[in-house]
A and B are shown apart, each in its own frame.
Chain A
Amino acid sequence: ETGVTQTPRHLVMGMTNKKSLKCEQHLGHNAMYWYKQSAKKPLELMFVYSLEERVENNSVPSRFSPECPNSSHLFLHLHTLQPEDSALYLCASSQATGLVSGDTIYFGEGSWLTVV
Chain B
Amino acid sequence: GQNIDQPTEMTATEGAIVQINCTYQTSGFNGLFWYQQHAGEAPTFLSYNVLDGLEEKGRFSSFLSRSKGYSYLLLKELQMKDSASYLCAVRDPSNSGYALNFGKGTSLLVTP
Contact across chains for A4 and B93 when beta carbons are under 8 A apart: no
Contact across chains for B43 and A31 when beta carbons are under 8 A apart: no
Contact across chains for A33 and B99 when beta carbons are under 8 A apart: yes
Contact of B48 among A55, A56, A104 (CB under 8 A): A104
Q: Does B101 contact A (CB under 8 A)?
A: yes
Q: How far is the CA of A99 from the CA of B73 in the complex (A)?
A: 25
**Per-residue contact bits, chain A 77-116, to B (CB 8 Å; 1 contact, 0 not):** 0000000000000100010111101111111111000000
| Cβ contacts under 8 Å, B99 to chain A | 33, 45, 48, 56, 98, 105
Contact across chains for B45 and A104 when beta carbons are under 8 A apart: yes
What is the size category of the interface that chain A forms with chain B?
Answer: 20 to 34
Instruction: List residues 58-112 of chain B with CB under 8 A from any CB of chain A.
Output: 87, 89, 91, 93, 96-105
| Cβ contacts under 8 Å, A62 to chain B | none
Q: Does B25 contact A (CB under 8 A)?
A: no
Q: What are 7 A-B contacts defined by CB distance under 8 Å?
A: A42-B102, A42-B103, A94-B98, A98-B91, A101-B30, A107-B35, A109-B42
Contact A42-B104, Cβ < 8 Å, known A2-B42, A90-B43 = yes
| Cβ contacts under 8 Å, A43 to chain B | 43, 87, 89, 102
